[in-house]
Amino acid sequence: MNKTPLTITGAEKLRVELHRMKTVDRPNVIAAIAEARSHGDLSENAEYDAAKERQGFIEGRIMEIEGKLSNAQIIDPKLLDADGRCVFGATVDLEDMESGQTVSYQIVGEDEADIKENKISVSSPIARALIGKYAGDIAEVQAPGGIREYEIIEVRYV
């Protein structure tokens, strides 16, 4: 099975979520199931059904996170030595060639991608266009509205 790249921050967020699910969410849903059982007939008990459904979700998510963490290749962007090249974990400053607008993105794993935090998935079209390029290069990105061109201003490993 292939290793899944994760930044240190992304791995830590998954560990925190896993800990919360095991120590807070799982015990809460077990208590909710016990409470619903005490109400009697389970065949028409909506609270019991909802608690069991929630338990299934929690157990599934715990397994998913454990699988991702066990299969993760954790990368510290600060330790990268890519000679100025765009790689996983790098933060890239771009300028839209058409509008002149500048933006910064960090290339991260799929689970940690969040456009509000300027973190883009390594498998996104813009990240795929950036990987392997250097500052000063032009990246052509296939966007829904057509091809967009971005000049790479700077590549940082922070």
Count of the separate structural domains present in the chain? 2
Q: What is the mean pLDDT of residues 61-81?
A: 91
97 lies in the same domain as 139: yes
The distance of Cα 46 from the centroid of its chain, to the nearest Å, equals 34
Q: Is the pLDDT of residue 149 over 80?
A: yes
CATH of the domain at 68: 1.10.287.180
Q: Are 7 and 91 in contact (CB under 8 A)?
A: no
Q: Is the pLDDT of residue 1 over 60?
A: no
pLDDT tens for 85-109 read: 999 999 999 999 989 999 999 999 9
Full-model pTM: 0.80
32 lies in the same domain as 86: no
Instruction: Show the domain range for 83.
Output: 77-156
Q: Which of 23, 53, 75 is the last residue of a domain?
A: 75
Q: Is the pLDDT of residue 150 over 90?
A: yes
Cα–Cα distance for residue pair 128/122, rounded to 1 Å: 7
